[in-house]
Structures are given as structure tokens and as C-alpha cells.
């Protein structure tokens, strides 16, 4: 028996991740742990390797490092990857297939033409104004209600309907979505971080978040306009950007004290309402290439407007009901009661925390009725039947069979993206369970008082790896709270920083890139999108780091909650 295999076999029944597994040094361990993620971005960004191949290569590298350097049993490493695969398929891929099918129904039915006409009216014929409202406010509304990839998939598809180029639609979506992610899916990331970070009050953590995110909300419309059309858009549409940003920012600043779970929903609705009302009294200057016009004979009547908006309005209403209904019965809890908790074979009970307890991360929750994908599928079924029954005077003929046939067509077209997303999730779980990701966090936590500046970076890395701000909270919330005590910092501040940073990290997450390129039907464009999106992600992260450091040192006075 060789010295290398002996410790691995001895750990066959249990394994506790160590942040000093490599040479007894936390920094060396962190460097090795970060290697798969660095390799992923190098392969994709520098060598233009297709994303599904990147994910397969990096999964293999991460598994090898887990066994050889982190001493994780080989069987547990493989089974950790299978739990990641399961998480990739449900809820993430499940949601994406449903969302893309819903979008495809507007295409096969021909209703996308009327949808463009509706947004043309709202946006005063300026395609940039229309895209800003969809990418910022509509996407934020969906993020607040659903999360888990659905907002990105649906929003990117809608931007295509408006006529934006694929790459620009994808870039606009992932950047605009980022500021809402921390409060996404009824603020699950906030609740997770607060509960796992020493049992803090999530409402207070959310209030800390709102003190920082409101400023980013004000900046975000200007960033999106620069993505759309550079300095010209800023010069011509800055009043709309300011109105939208201030209204959304006010929602982020004020809503946590009312209902932190609804922060994204309230903020997005305020931004949408303010933009709509402002455009009733103000008309932008629009260059010819961004002017969208509808001939008088093509302007839809009331029925066609309703049917064009039906997929997107209906999906918001149905998901809102499943999340918010409290009359007579708490529908959210009823639906959640159908979830099935699976103690993952070969991992649960063998993967231990530093205190020797079974890690709860090895419990996979199979969501059925609580999964937003289920309700997006239901929406698509309803839309299919309605479109088959109403052809608007024969202008949009579509049979139910054609609508349902679009589902397997969608699955087939998404085959490489499905492989990518599933493999990326497997990679994330191997990195997380073996201790590769936590080693990075432990290395950053050695910075003492300066850790306040680095605190958001942990959330950024966690989401970049796992594709989920909730997972970033589960990974690093306890570490953030522990580091706060050691550095005499407010743990609620660091938990807020971790959660917001997680949203910014989603911009460059391989999983998110795979989702958005799938939604815009542009496989292989991930490297270009990453290259163009990364500066926004890093820039916003540095701004957040500076704000958190200033708050931790009291330089902002009484700006943050007591």
C-alpha cells in the first residue's frame, strides 16, 4: 500500500474537508483549490475552448485534486459530482427548458411581432428604452419571484423579441440581473446567509444590503445604456436612466424594513412604474438604427395585445401566487411540503463538518410543486391551448400539436447547454465538498481588519463557482461571521457583503453564461460574453468592497443600521 493511497482508503467511511490540506498551509491550499476555476476561465477566455469541454476538463481536474491533494475518498468524490448533476437537472435545467419553451411559443405562433409592437408603444419607439425596461425592471421582478435561472432565460429571450443582437441581449441580461440576485427568489440568499451566519436577523442583514445596493441600482441603468449604445445612449437617455435608477434604488433602500422577502419585487415594480409614467411625458431622441416603428395596419388591437403579453404576464402572476398567497392557506408552505429531501448516498453521513457532525450540504432537495419550473411549464401549457383556440382572425394560426411539438424541439436544441450546465454543477459540488472553495475563503479571512474590503470577494467567488448566491451564503456565511468576531467587525455587515457580492459574481458564473447563451440560441459565444461582462462584474465588486470597508471603519457615519 503506497503512502498516497493509504490515507485515502482510511477515509473511506468519513471525510472532513480541511483548509490546510496541501502542505499544512492555508494559502497553498487555497491556490490549489482555486486552480479548476482559473483553468475554466483560461480555457474558455484565452483558448476559446467550447464551454461544455471546459466544464468536463475542469471537472476532471477538480476531482483529481480532491482525491490527491485534499484526500477526499474517490467514491465520495464521484458521488459528490452526481449530487451536483442532480442539482443541475432539477431545478436549474428544468426551469431553463420551461422558460425557453415558453419563449419559443411566441415565435412559432408569430405573436412575437405583436409583442414588439407593444413595447414599441411603451418605449416611445426607442429600442434602447424598451430594452432598459425589460433588462432592468422586468428581469428584477422575475428574479424577486423565481430565481434559479428563470429570470435570465426569460429576459434574454424577450430582448431577442425586441430585436436586439444575441450577444448584446445576453450581456444586457446578466449585467442587469446581478443587482437583484441577492434578494432573489423571495430573498432566499439573505435568509440562508443570516441563518448560517450565527443566526442573525435576516431583515437586518437585508437592511444592510439595501444601504449599498440602492447606489448600484442608480448606476445600473447608466451601465446598461452604455452596453446598448455607448456614450450616445447616455447622452440621449440619461433622464430615463436616472428616473428608473432612483425609483429602483428607493425600493432597495426602503423595502427591507417592510418585507425583506419582497425587496426585489417592490423595487422592480417601482422602477417599471416610474419609467412608464416618465415616458408618458418625455420623448427621447432616437437614432434611426434604434428606432422601432409599427405600420398603422400592423398595430395590434386589444385582443392581440393581451395575447402577445400573455406568456410573460401570466408567468409572473402564477409564480407570484405560488410565492405570496396567504389567504386561508400559506400556499408557499403547502407547495414546499411536497419537496423530497434525499440524503445523498455515499456522501451524507460520511461528509463531516469540523465539529464532527454530518454535513447538511449532502441533503439534496427534489423540488416538485415548489419549483418555479413547474409553474412555467403550466404557463406554457395554458399559452399553447389559448394560442390554438384564438388565432386573431386567422392572422396567427397555431395548433396545440404544434405548440407541444416545440417542447421536444427545445430540448434537442439545448442538448449541449444541458451538458454544460449539468457538468458545471458537478464541478461546483466537487469543489465545495472537497474543501477547495472553503480553502479560498479561509485564506482571505486571514486579512484581519482589512477583511472588510475582501469580504464581498468571498461571495463573488462562491457564486462564480456554484452559480448561486444561496450556495455562496451556505459556503461562507459561517466563515464571514467567525472572521467578523476575530476582526471586531459587525457580522451583519459582512453577511450583507457576501450576499451582494454573490450577485455580482453571477455575471461571470459559467453556469449563468451557459444559461444565457442557451436562451439566445448562441452556443459557443460564452468566451465573448465573459470577456465583455467581466469588467462590469469586477468594477461593481470593487465599488462594493470600498463601500463595505468605509462602513466598517465608520467613515459613513450613521449610514448603516445600528
| pLDDT at position 12 | 46
Is the confidence at residue 41, as pLDDT, over 60?
yes
5-9, 179-183, 229-233: the lowest-pLDDT one: 5-9
| pLDDT at position 262 | 85
Predicted confidence (pLDDT) per residue in 393-447, tens digit: 899 999 999 999 999 998 888 787 788 878 878 888 898 899 998 888 888 888 8
Q: How confident is the model at residue 139 (pLDDT cuts 50, 70, 90)?
A: very high
Predicted confidence (pLDDT) per residue in 347-383, tens digit: 999 999 988 999 988 999 998 998 888 998 999 999 9
Which range scores top for mean pLDDT: 100-109, 213-222, 412-421, 441-450? Answer: 213-222
Nearest alpha-carbon partner for 549 in 46, 318, 212 = 212
Distance CA 96, CA 480 (A): 32
Is the confidence at residue 11, as pLDDT, over 60?
no
Q: Report the percent of the chain where pLDDT is more than 70.
A: 96
- The gap between the terminal CA atoms of the chain, to the nearest Å, is 59
Cβ atoms within 10 Å, residue 86: 18
Is the confidence at residue 467, as pLDDT, over 90?
no
Distance CA 311, CA 296 (A): 25
**Contact (Cβ atoms closer than 8 angstroms) between residue 95 and residue 370:** no
Q: How confident is the model at residue 21 (pLDDT cuts 50, 70, 90)?
A: very high
Pull the grid cell for residue 112: 412575437
**CA angle (189, 190, 194) in 5-degree steps:** 120
Predicted confidence (pLDDT) per residue in 156-213, tens digit: 988 998 889 999 999 999 999 999 999 988 788 898 888 878 778 899 999 999 999 9
54-58, 115-119, 132-136, 236-240: the lowest-pLDDT one: 115-119
Predicted confidence (pLDDT) per residue in 319-331, tens digit: 889 888 999 999 9
Is the confidence at residue 99, as pLDDT, over 90?
no
24-33, 39-48, 182-191, 364-373: the lowest-pLDDT one: 39-48
| pLDDT at position 296 | 65
Instruction: Please tell me the pTM assigned to this model.
Output: 0.81
Phi, psi of 366 (to 5 degrees): -85, 105
| pLDDT at position 560 | 67
Is the confidence at residue 8, as pLDDT, over 50?
no
Distance CA 295, CA 124 (A): 14
Is the confidence at residue 224, as pLDDT, over 50?
yes
34-48, 273-287, 368-382: the lowest-pLDDT one: 34-48
Is the confidence at residue 536, as pLDDT, over 90?
yes
Is the confidence at residue 19, as pLDDT, over 60?
yes
Phi, psi of 291 (to 5 degrees): -90, 125
Cis peptide before 91 (omega within 30 of 0): yes
Identify the residue with better confidence: 388 or 90.
388
Nearest alpha-carbon partner for 414 in 164, 134, 149 = 149
Q: Average pLDDT of 521-527?
A: 87
Amino acid at each position: 500500500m503506497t503512502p498516497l493511497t493509504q490515507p485515502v482508503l482510511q477515509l473511506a467511511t468519513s471525510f472532513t474537508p480541511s483548509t490546510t490540506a496541501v502542505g499544512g498551509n492555508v494559502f497553498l491550499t487555497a491556490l490549489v483549490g482555486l486552480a479548476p476555476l482559473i483553468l475554466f476561465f483560461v480555457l474558455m477566455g484565452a483558448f476559446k475552448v467550447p464551454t461544455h469541454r471546459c466544464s468536463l476538463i475542469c471537472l476532471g481536474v477538480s476531482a483529481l485534486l480532491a482525491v490527491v491533494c485534499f484526500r477526499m475518498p474517490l467514491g465520495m468524490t464521484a458521488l459528490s459530482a452526481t449530487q451536483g448533476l442532480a442539482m443541475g437537472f432539477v431545478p436549474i435545467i428544468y426551469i431553463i427548458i420551461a422558460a425557453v419553451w415558453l419563449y419559443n411559443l411566441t415565435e412559432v405562433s408569430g405573436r412575437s411581432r405583436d409583442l414588439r409592437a407593444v413595447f414599441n408603444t411603451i418605449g416611445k419607439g426607442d429600442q434602447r428604452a424598451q430594452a432598459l425596461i425589460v433588462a432592468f425592471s422586468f428581469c428584477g421582478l422575475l428574479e424577486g419571484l423565481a430565481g434559479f435561472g428563470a429570470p435570465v432565460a426569460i429576459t434574454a429571450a424577450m430582448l431577442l423579441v425586441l430585436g436586439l443582437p444575441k450577444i448584446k441581449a445576453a450581456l444586457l441580461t446578466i449585467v442587469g440581473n446581478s443587482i437583484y440576485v441577492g434578494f432573489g427568489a423571495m430573498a432566499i440568499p439573505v435568509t440562508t446567509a443570516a441563518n448560517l451566519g450565527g443566526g442573525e436577523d435576516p431583515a437586518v442583514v437585508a437592511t444592510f444590503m439595501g444601504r449599498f445596493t440602492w447606489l448600484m441600482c442608480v448606476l445600473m441603468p447608466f451601465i446598461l445604456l452604455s452596453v446598448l449604445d455607448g456614450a450616445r445612449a447616455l447622452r440621449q437617455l440619461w433622464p430615463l436612466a436616472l428616473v428608473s435608477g432612483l425609483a429602483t434604488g428607493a425600493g432597495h433602500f426602503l423595502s427591507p424594513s417592510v418585507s425583506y422577502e419582497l425587496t426585489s419585487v417592490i423595487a422592480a415594480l417601482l422602477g417599471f412604474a416610474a419609467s412608464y409614467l416618465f415616458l408618458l411625458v418625455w420623448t427621447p431622441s432616437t437614432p434611426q438604427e434604434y428606432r422601432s416603428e409599427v405600420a398603422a395596419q400592423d398595430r395590434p388591437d386589444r385582443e392581440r395585445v393581451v395575447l402577445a403579453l400573455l406568456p410573460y404576464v401570466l408567468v409572473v402572476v402564477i409564480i407570484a401566487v405560488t410565492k405570496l398567497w396567504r389567504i386561508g392557506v400559506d400556499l408557499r408552505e403547502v407547495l414546499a411540503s411536497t419537496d423530497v429531501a434525499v440524503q445523498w448516498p455515499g456522501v451524507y453521513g460520511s461528509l463531516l463538518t469540523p465539529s464532527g457532525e454530518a454535513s447538511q450540504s449532502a441533503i439534496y432537495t427534489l423540488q416538485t410543486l415548489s419549483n418555479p419550473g413547474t409553474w412555467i411549464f403550466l404557463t406554457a401549457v395554458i399559452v399553447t391551448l389559448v394560442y390554438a383556440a384564438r388565432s386573431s382572425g386567422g392572422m396567427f394560426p397555431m395548433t396545440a400539436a404544434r405548440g407541444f411539438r416545440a417542447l421536444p424541439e427545445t430540448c434537442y436544441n439545448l442538448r449541449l447547454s444541458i451538458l454544460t450546465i449539468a457538468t458545471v454543477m458537478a464541478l461546483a459540488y466537487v469543489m465545495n465538498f472537497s474543501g477547495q472553495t472553503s480553502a479560498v475563503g479561509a485564506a482571505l479571512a486571514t486579512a484581519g481588519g482589512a477583511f472588510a474590503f475582501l469580504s464581498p470577494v468571498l461571495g463573488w467567488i462562491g457564486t462564480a463557482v456554484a452559480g448561486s448566491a444561496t450556495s455562496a451564503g451556505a459556503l461562507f456565511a459561517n466563515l464571514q461571521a467567525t472572521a467578523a468576531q476575530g476582526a471586531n467587525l459587525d457580522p451583519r455587515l459582512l453577511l450583507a457583503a457576501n450576499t451582494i457580492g454573490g450577485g455580482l459574481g453571477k455575471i461571470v458564473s459559467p453556469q449563468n453564461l451557459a444559461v444565457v447563451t442557451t436562451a439566445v440560441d448562441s452556443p459557443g459565444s460564452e468566451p465573448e460574453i465573459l470577456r465583455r461582462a467581466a469588467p462590469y462584474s469586477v468594477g461593481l465588486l470593487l465599488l462594493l468592497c470600498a463601500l463595505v470597508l468605509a462602513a466598517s471603519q465608520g467613515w459613513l457615519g450613521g449610514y448603516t443600521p445600528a
